[in-house]
Structures are given as C-alpha cells and as structure tokens.
Amino acid sequence: MTLILKRSSALFLALLLSACSTTDTSNRLTVEPPSESQIKSSVKDQVSMMLNAFTPVAGQALPNNTVLATYAERGYQPIWIKDKHIEPSIYKLVSILEQANSHGLNPVHYHVGIIKHYLALKAPSKQQLAEMDVITTIALSSYAHDISNGRYEPQLIDPNWQLDAPSRDWKDLLSLSNASAMVDSLPLLAPRSPEYQVLQKWLVYYQQLAKKEKDIYVQPGAPLSIGDEGPRVSQLRARLVQLGDIRFSTRKVDEDRFDKKLKVALQGFQHRHHLSADGAAGSKTIQMLNVPLKQRAKEIAYNLERWRWLPNKLEANRIWVDLTNYSVDTYLNGNRTTMKTVVGKEDRMTPVFKGTMTYMVANPSWRIPHRIARESLLPKLQADPNYLGKHGFRVFSSWSIGAKELDPTRINWKSIAPENLSFRFEQIPDEDNALGEFKFMFPNKNDIYLHDTPAKYLFRRDQRAFSSGCIRLENAEAFAKNITNNSPQAKVLASAIKSKQTKVITLPTYIPVYIVYFTVVPNANGMPEFRDDIYHRDALMERAMGYQAFPVKAPL
C-alpha cells in the first residue's frame, strides 16, 4: 500500500506542476476571463482525464464514476464557476476539507493544496479553470462519500468485519442545483448517532491538547493510594486534569497528597478504561494513564470510521450486541434493557455483521458444528469413549436427512483423525445442553446466534471471550419474555417453558440484530471509554489507513 500511496502523491504533484507550467501564457495572463462556453468545453475535455489521474488507491473508495455522471447530467456545465466568477462556496468547501482531520480523515486525500493553488492564480486559463472545477468536484464527492460511508472498504481491512451499510445520500448531494447547496449539505452526511458526535468532539479535544501540551506522564513505581504523598502523586493529579477526569478548579489543593477527591477521580478513569476501580494507581492503571494523547486520538479516529460503516440512522427497535463490552442491549418500544454476554474467544472470534431475528427455539437440541466437533469434541471422546452418554449426546452416521443413529461405544474414536470426522453429533435438550433452554435465530452465513448457557459462572468475570463464536446470554429467559411481551407468542413461550418440550416460536415482530465492535465509546457521562481490543482489530485499521490523527500540511 505504501508504494501505491507514494505513486498517487507523485501523480498529484505532477498534475499540479503541469497546471503551473501551462504554455498558453497569452490565455493565462489575459485580463478578460474565459467565457462560460469555453470553460464548459474545457470541462468536458478534462473530466475523463482528471478522473483517470485521481484513481482509487488500495482499499480506498473514491467515487469517481459518480463525478463523471454528474457532469454529464449537467451538460458539462462548470459547478464552481458562475457568471465568470468563482463561486464563494468553494472557499467554504476548502475550509471544511482542511478540517477533515476532525472526523479522523486526512485532508491530503481531498486535494486541498491543489485546489488552493488554482484559486491563487491571478489570471487562470480556461484549461486551468476547468481543471480546478473537476478536481474540486472530485474532492467534494470523495469527502461526501467518506464522511457518510467511510473511506475504506471494511472487508479489505478485516474479513471478519461483514457489516457495511452504504448510504446513497452523498450521491443525492451532487444532484443539488448549485455549489452552495452542495457545500451546505455536507455536514448533514456525517453519522447522526449521538455516540459519533460525542467521539468526534473528543477527537478534536485530543488533537488540540496534543498540539498545545506535552503528555504528562506518571513515573512507574510502587502503587499509589489514598494517604500517599510525593511528586508522583502530583504527576497523577496533573495527568487526570489533562485527560478531563478532574475538572480544573481555582480551589487550592495539596497537589502532592493523595486525597479522597483524587481517589474518586482515579476511579472514574479506571471505570472508563475497564480497569478494576479500586482507586489505587497500580502498574496497569499507570500504564493506561501513560498512553500518549496522539495514540488515543488514533484510536478514536478508527472508531469514527467504524461508525461510518453503519447505517446513518439506526432502527428504533433493535438488538445491539456490543462485543468489546460483553453486553447486549435490547431496544423495544422505547425501552432499553441490558444484560451481560459471553462472546467468541480470540481464535474463534465473533464476526461483525447485521441480521434479522425471526424466531426462537425453546428447549433446543444442539447440532454440533463440524469445527467444534473436530477441535473440541473429538479429543474429549478420545480421552473418554463414554463422554457422549454422560453429556446427553447422540451420534449419527452422517449429516444426511434420515442418517442412522449409532452406538458411540462401538466406535474406535482414537483411530479417527480430525479431518476425517464425518459423524453428526446432537445434544438432547436437558439442563446440561450447551445451548441451555433457548436459542434465538437470525439466519446468517456465519451460523451465529444468541443462546442460553448452563455455564453461568462465566458471567461473573470481567473479560468474557470464551465461546466458539455464538453469543451466550446471562438471562435468556428474560430476553425471550422481553421480545415476545404483550403478544400471542408470550403464551406459547410460557407453555414451552412449563412443558420442557422443544418448540419453535416465530417472533411477533422481526428485530434487526447488530453485532458491533468498538474500542472507544462515550460513557454515560460523555467521557471517552477505552476498551480492550480483544480481537486486535485496531492494528488492522492502522495498517490499512496509514492514519495520521493530526492536521497534515497539504502539498504545494
């Protein structure tokens, strides 16, 4: 990718130098500007050439075909030139593009330096005006696309990220009647979620803070707790002020003394970094305190891009599985309920995607997936041939309909290699069933679903990545009652719970299910909450984006 980016930058520079060294000096220096018909003719000549020059780079999504269609629909009339004058809105656009870093985007990608060069020309020729018009429209459309849909293709970054909900609103912007309306509509394309807007403000805060101040570091050493005194306590206090956990106050305090207010502020910091909130600054807390501001700005930027991969507007009724928070939020009829979850472990990570929950199964049997049978069940059988009987499993000769049930004690499990295992295993509905009493289905290619579990002790742990990919619920019965509440299916559910019989129950209303992954979110107090990157997805974002979280000087 680095080589491609370098070639792209060189191309931009060559294009700019070509514009600077136009040989048509008589046109360039003439007092009378070119006519609109001359500019229109030049735009038609330039548009294809310029679009070919500004080609997509690696995983970036530059919507050039839309630019071509836009000019064709307008009869190749210039967008940024009217009545022989450059539209004032172009300067507003340049200002917006220069601040692209406030959304975690890089201004260099929107050709700000090149546009400003054209604007600085004293007497541009018709070709230069046409070039400026096309490049500015490319910049507008690219930014409009990126701010609404994200700049990068998620599955090119991470194959397990399968949630991408592109919006067409940015294309509608190019259909507006004039440049001023297009530019004024740009801010409306950013995600409307409060979470995005709060994170975007914190990104700006970290950028500005890192520009004005140096990081205040807490020197490693013995844990600091209430009653301690010394320069390290002063460093701790100053860092918490810098990060916003202590509001600046004119009230005089003993900066070197660890008092109750400092403990409360430190507990707030620990809560929003998913640390044990004991109010003492141990090695893990100090490590988190000392993460540089620039690194935090990068992490926020990655999560803003993730928000842009989601629909611009979310459904009022939805199920929101938050992988890094190990939780599921159910939004139904204006109410929100939350419970803990267990998610996929690192080597069997739960993918990110959207589905639609259509039915549930009460008292389900569990048909063991091939991979789990090979990797987990077979070794247990080889160690204990009676394992299936002890845990309520049945074994069938194949995955075919009507396959014959076999006696597991007559099979030589030790002689079977994992790659040759072709039996079908099913666990009968009982209290030891791995699916518990319920499973909730939103059909998808990953064979992922929500379900109950007999292993309730795992919900007492803070880190809960223990499953083989599916999502286990802390209180599946309460979840089932919630999604069938005040419907005829509620009676069917109650009957199934009482009878302990397997029952498929169609939901009264189908519910969108989002399985999402964020490493930074705003907490209830509006502060940024930094979470463990349990699947190491931020590293993938950094490699793909080559991201710089701070303003970059555009090439001149």
Q: Count Cβ atoms within 10 A of the Cβ of residue 280 and give its class: 0-12 exposed, 13-18 middle, 19 or more buried.
A: middle
Q: Which residues contact 418 (CB under 8 A, 6 or more apart)?
A: 374, 375, 378
**Given the residues 103, 111, 273, 470, the one annotated as active site:** 470
Tokens of 42: 């030049």
**Residue that the structure tokens 């397997």 belong to:** 502
Tokens of 457: 């002790």
**DSSP state for residue 556 in the 8-state scheme:** -
The one-letter code for the residue type at 402 is G
Report phi then psi at 100, rounded to 5.
Answer: -60, -30
Tokens of 495: 């009957």
Contacts 24+ apart (CB under 8 A), 390-394: 391/427, 391/432, 392/427, 392/428, 392/430, 392/432, 392/433, 393/368, 393/425, 393/426, 393/427, 393/428, 394/425, 394/426, 394/427, 394/428
20 is catalytic: no
Give CA–CA dist 305/100, Å, rounded: 12
Q: SS3 for 98?
A: helix
Four-residue CA torsion sign, 120, 121, 123, 128: negative
Give CA–CA dist 478/453, Å, rounded: 13
Looking at the DSSP bridge assignments, the partners of residue 426 are 367, 394
First to last CA, the chain: 23
Tokens of 262: 């400092």
Neighbours of 43 (CB within 10 A): 26
273 is catalytic: no
Q: At what angle do helices 126-149 and 36-53 cross, to 10 degrees?
A: 50
Give CA–CA dist 442/448, Å, rounded: 8
Report phi then psi at 404, rounded to 5.
Answer: -75, 135
Is the Cβ–Cβ distance between 555 and 13 less than 8 Å? yes
Give CA–CA dist 414/157, Å, rounded: 40
Q: Which residues contact 41 (CB under 8 A, 6 or more apart)?
A: 76, 126
Report phi then psi at 325, rounded to 5.
Answer: -100, -5
**Residue that the structure tokens 């802390």 belong to:** 474
Is the Cβ–Cβ distance between 18 and 125 less than 8 Å? no
Give CA–CA dist 514/310, Å, rounded: 9
Catalytic residues: 451, 470
